[in-house]
Amino acid sequence: MATDQEEIKYITVLGATGNQGGGVVRALLAKTEPSFHVRAITRDVSSTAAQSFQEKYKDSGRLELVAANVYNKQSLIEAFKNVYGVFAVTNNRIPGKKIEKEQDMDHELEAGRNIIDAAKACNVQHFVLSSLPNITNASKGRFTKVFHFDNKHKIEQWARDELPAVTALHPGLFYTNMQWSQYCQRQDDGTVRFCAPIDGDKLADWVDPSYDIGVYAAEIFSLDPEKTASKTYPVVGPKLSFADFARVFREITSQEATFDPITLDQWGATVAATVGKGYEEDIKQMMEWIAVAPDDKICYGTMDQTDDTSYEDLGVKASTLADWMRRTAWQGPQ
């Protein structure tokens, strides 16, 4: 077991109290060979969520909770000092604020720029980030407003151009999206309706964001940077059609379920009501691309399956829908 101070890798994890970052912290602290010390970053260390998070891992002896903000470069430099690696995740939405216009998502690029500059300033040896493919390029210019994909990809490219060792994780659609009414609803008669606006037979890649991304990231940090640097790993379970959700849900819960899609306009309006009008076209174009993305490719139709070396390199696989349902005891919307 790696216990000596010099054997411990220090990793800074951004968004540590969120879904993806929280999963990375859990997976890193679960590993003992090698052993990791985690510097968990959150905006407010005094928040209820942060205090609960710290209490959860108080016995590990390998966690420190540090305040930093992705819109404050100097705070990131302090958070990245003397660490071996950084796990980075960015968000198209500022917590507590709606996206009223498309330009409101530009802040994600500002955050990404600050993160990369701080990593450069601190000579971070291995930079691992949660990213996504460029849909403008994938669609040959047909869908140009999927900003929450394209902006992440732009940040990834900056990182690859400027940092010595960068590994990207591209997660599939989230199983946890089923908590949102544009994906899943409980009907008056109790039936669970899966309702994304797409053909029921259309295949897509899916993932548990709060579990799988952490598992992959921990394995990446366990390896020497040259093993995975420059690589992109899709974090995706087996392909699943949208209608398959109803079938698997019935099998596991014995509840009635169906696939009955809403319209694309209903989908966009539902999302806009929660997230903001400026996100409506983005999320509609995302689903339009998924509807036509090649089924024989993964990573939102952008990668040949034979190019995915994640299992060969890391020895891990992402969760199935059944795995996620059993892990979370999800029984459908209330």
pLDDT digit string, tens, across residues 293-309: 999 999 999 999 999 99
Widest pairwise Cα distance in the chain: 60
Q: Output the CA angle 172-209-232, nearest 5 degrees.
A: 50
Q: What percentage of the chain has pLDDT greater than the value 70?
A: 98
Span 223-248, average pLDDT: 97
Q: Which CATH class is domain 5-328?
A: alpha beta
Tokens at 14, concatenated: 């951004």
Could you give the CA distance from residue 317 to residue 216 in angstroms, rounded to a whole number?
Answer: 8
pLDDT at position 2 over 80:
no
In the 3-class helix/strand/coil scheme, how is 6-28 assigned residue by residue? Answer: HHCEEEEECCCCCHHHHHHHHHH
pLDDT digit string, tens, across residues 82-114: 999 999 999 999 988 999 999 999 999 999 999
Span 66-72, average pLDDT: 97
Q: Output the CA angle 176-193-198, nearest 5 degrees.
A: 75
**CA 223, chain centre distance (Å):** 21
Could you give the CA distance from residue 10 to residue 18 in angstroms, rounded to a whole number?
Answer: 20
- Greater confidence, 332 or 7? 332
pLDDT digit string, tens, across residues 198-208: 999 999 999 99
Q: What is the pLDDT of residue 1?
A: 38
Q: What is the pLDDT of residue 6?
A: 52
pLDDT at position 230 over 90:
yes
Span 23-41, average pLDDT: 95
Q: What is the pLDDT of residue 4?
A: 46
Residue 48, number of CB atoms within 10 A of its CB = 9
Strand partners for 40: 13, 65
pLDDT at position 3 over 60:
no
* SS3 at position 37: strand
Q: What is the pLDDT of residue 157?
A: 99
Q: What is the pLDDT of residue 194?
A: 98
- Greater confidence, 191 or 33? 191
Mean of per-residue pLDDT scores for the chain: 96
Residue 119, number of CB atoms within 10 A of its CB = 27
Strand partners for 13: 40, 87
Provide CB contacts within 8 A for 12, sequence distance 6+: 38, 39, 41, 66, 79, 80, 83, 85, 86, 87
Q: Are 6 and 39 in contact (CB under 8 A)?
A: no
Q: What is the pLDDT of residue 33?
A: 86
Q: What share of the chain is helix, strand, coil (3-state, %, to 5)?
A: 45, 20, 40
pLDDT at position 5 over 60:
no
Span 30-58, average pLDDT: 93
> String of b and e for 36-45 (b: at least 16 CB within 10 Å)?
bbbbbbbbeb
Nearest to 333 by CA among 157, 148, 187, 210: 187
What phi, psi does 102 have (nearest 5°)?
-60, -35
Q: What is the pLDDT of residue 287?
A: 98
